[in-house]
A and B are shown apart, each in its own frame.
Chain A
Amino acid sequence: MTMQNSVRPFPATEPAPLRIAVAGNPNSGKSTLINSLAGTRLHVGNWPGVTVEKREASFERRDERIALVDLPGTYSLSPYSQEEVVARDYLVEERPDVIIDVVDATNLERNLYLTVQLLELEIPVVVALNIHDEAERMGYRIDVTAMERALGIRIVPTVATKGTGLEALLDAATAAAGDPSRHRPRRLNYGGDIEAAAEALMAEVLRGHPDLAGKYPGRWLAFKLLEGDRRVIDEAGLQGIEPLVARAAEHLISAHGEDVESLMADARYARATGLTREVLTKPDVRKIELTEKIDRIALNRFLGIPLFLAAMWLVFKLTFDVSAPFADWLGTVTSGPFTRWTRVLVGLVHGPAWLISLVTDGVIAGVGSVLVFVPVIFAMMFFITFLEGSGYMARAAFVMDRAMHSMGLHGKSFIPMLLGFGCNVPAIYATRTLENPRDKALTALLIPLMSCGARLPVYILFVAAFFPSRSGTVLWSLYVLGIVLAVLMGILFKRTLFRGDSPMFIMELPPYRMPSGKSLAIHTWEKGKHFLIKAGTYILAVSVLVWFLLNLPWGVEQKKDSYMGTVGQAIAPVFKPLGFGTWEAASSLVAGVIAKEIVVGTMGEIYVPVKVETPAGPAPSLSEDLREIGTSFAEAGRNAFNNVFSTAGIKSLQAEVDEGTTGLRSVVSKTFTPLSAYAFMAFVLLYMPCIVAAAALKHEFGTWKWFGVAFAYQTVLAWSVAFFIYQGGTLLGL
């Protein structure tokens, strides 16, 4: 199979590709299936609601071009949530050539409810009976032939994570699309009076609007009108039809004592339940599944939250233990051999002294200070990806939901907030899974309080300098501080800006699964590469600009007299009560508005003009440097291994601080105290969202209003919390 990882539209001159929509319940494996088919890297996670928008991936197969459209997971096609609207609009308006309905074989009944509705759209449907291996392990036997007979469509057992059954699935999908006239699914009969009412209503509608005949599947349109679907009425231009619909529905309501929507939903559920009973055989003796056993503890009313906090602590401890030696190694390589080589290269082209300074004291000190934390970021993203893929993140949302609900907050909001631990920007976009615009805005306002990966370099720098033996605990405390303040601010906003009740939250809990190595590698890379891209773009750009601001007016002797120093000195008094009222700290915080990692990059440029360690003898040769880099890397690997199994804390960082090295960490340890360092980290956690998050807020809500609110409350909150920490700690004699 020839595949292209592409989202490009096909050129107009080429024949149109075969358009396959991939629909299904949340967490049934749609994105995984598309990734396996098209070789793309759509974000997947073992929790519902990962896909918010429809996304497209294209590839070639047997000289045929295929465009797969990944629709958001939905339980039905009723327009109650943004996902349902996106999925339904695409299917009804774009009319793909075929639908692949991804059905979770371990949850047949619930998934078939959507299948029944998809069959009404008069588009060929092929069912991918996914997660088939897990169903078999649970002792489920599904009679695929009987299911095909009952539904009148092709059913193909698949295991998307292993690529099993995908060729047969594509064969079935292309065959169904190739001859739609052969697509004759067994329709659900809603009963004589509903069917008759729908037929009569449709005849009436078509008399007045004959153009609708080719635009919408007639039977589906009639049912939607009978259900009183406002969105369909508006989109089909049928305003004013309400009296006609009311007359048609009136008889049904009086005959059955229920509204039409409920009647039809009952009929669909009955069909899904009946079909499941027909084709599914479960083992006689119900085994207590591993998932259930774990959940008895993980979701326990009293143990749930402590376990979640313990899991987070373990993540931070492991992140620090594994990555710190590699961060040290990268720091040594950057400040040593790499800077030496750069100086030689710039010297070879006879670069002026200022250019050498710009490259070493600006770019290398700025970007390098941030890049040394790449191993930390990747380690953290690895563990977060593991928790997502294992299914634990969904439990975390469930556990926190209970706590948040008891304080009047919407529990579903915690899902995008959890995404915010990686990066706040996609988390803000993920708020579109929330139905209520008020909850959406509230959640987006709270997301910047979730500590994203960009703040990690700041924490690691200060934690390594001041709290090396309690690194995991201090890091954990900052993340917990963010969550606690988000809950408190949520309560405050709910009582002021966002009054009103929240709808009930129903959370689907997927089974625990061991994420595959490939999936872990791909998604860790996808999350971590964002950091590398930032380092190569705006962190690089800001490092250059900061160097100029630190050296202008030209020839300035002291950095504090530079433009940046002057601005920093003007702002510094604001931070004095917080324990870090220096112009260096103030300037770094201002630059960090662009991206939080830049706080460290700017400190690198201000505090540490790169001094290349010149050995007493002749400079080491390239091969000696490379040998030293290789040896120290192996040493870092050994240290990381020892750290994980050591109970004595982090050897490498402790050793380096004790030795009093000349790096940024050493300067920071002399200019801050442990108390002011913690206040500084809390300030970085809480102060205004970065520019990209601000743009995301504007993009998602179409107004700068919510960014303004976020800017104002976060600035006040950050200052107040840092003040409380520093002044409170000072009073306590810390």
Chain B
Amino acid sequence: MGFVDIALMVLIVGGALYLLYRSLWKKKGYCHGCDPSGKCR
């Protein structure tokens, strides 16, 4: 496993963590009860 593999893995894990942070914490989860802009009030 080379440097490129490790860099790619870090990038993917970082992306997944950011996606989790954004959808779960920052946007508090998108739900059908939310307004069309995706914000839970």
Which residues of chain A have a CB within 8 Å of any CB of chain B?
A: 5-8, 40-41, 43, 53, 55, 352, 354-355, 358, 419, 422-423, 425-427, 429-430, 526-527, 529-530, 533-534, 537-538, 540-542, 544-545, 548, 554, 594, 691-692, 695-696, 699
Contacts and interface: CB of A to CB of B under 8 A. Distances in A.
Contacts, number: 92
A415 to B, nearest CB: 13
A423 B31 contact: yes
A144 to B, nearest CB: 34
Given A53-B41, A544-B13, A545-B13, A5 B36 contact: yes
A527 B34 CA distance: 11
B36 A695 contact: no
Contacts of A43: 32-33
Contact of B36 (A41, A53, A540): A41
Nearest to A56: B35
A530 B31 contact: yes
Contacts of B23: 534, 537-538, 541
A43 B12 CA distance: 37
Contacts of B29: 425, 534, 691-692, 695-696
Given A426-B31, A544-B16, 18 more contacts: A7-B36, A7-B37, A354-B9, A358-B12, A423-B33, A425-B29, A427-B33, A429-B40, A429-B41, A530-B32, A537-B19, A541-B16, A542-B20, A544-B12, A594-B20, A691-B29, A695-B29, A696-B29
B31 to A, nearest CB: 4
Nearest to B30: A533
29 contacts: A5-B36, A354-B5, A354-B9, A358-B12, A419-B33, A422-B32, A423-B32, A426-B34, A427-B33, A429-B33, A429-B41, A430-B33, A526-B32, A533-B30, A534-B29, A534-B30, A537-B19, A538-B23, A540-B16, A541-B19, A542-B16, A544-B12, A545-B16, A545-B20, A695-B28, A695-B29, A696-B40, A699-B28, A699-B40
A534 B16 CA distance: 13
Most buried by B among A358, A425, A534: A425
A540 B36 CA distance: 22
A43 B31 CA distance: 12
Contacts of A358: 12
Interface residues of B, number: 27
A93 to B, nearest CB: 18
Contacts of A355: 8
Contacts of B17: 541, 545
A554 B1 contact: yes
Nearest to B21: A541
A40 B36 contact: yes
A504 B16 CA distance: 49
A594 B24 contact: yes
Contacts of A545: 13, 16-17, 20
A700 B13 CA distance: 32
Contacts of A427: 33
B22 to A, nearest CB: 8
Most buried by B among A8, A43, A430: A43
Most buried by A among B8, B29, B35: B29
Contacts of B9: 354, 548
B13 to A, nearest CB: 6
Nearest to B1: A554
A7 B41 CA distance: 12
Contact of B28 (A430, A594, A696): A696
B24 A538 contact: yes
A8 B39 CA distance: 12
B28 A548 contact: no
Contacts of B35: 7, 55
Contacts of A540: 16, 19
Contacts of B8: 355
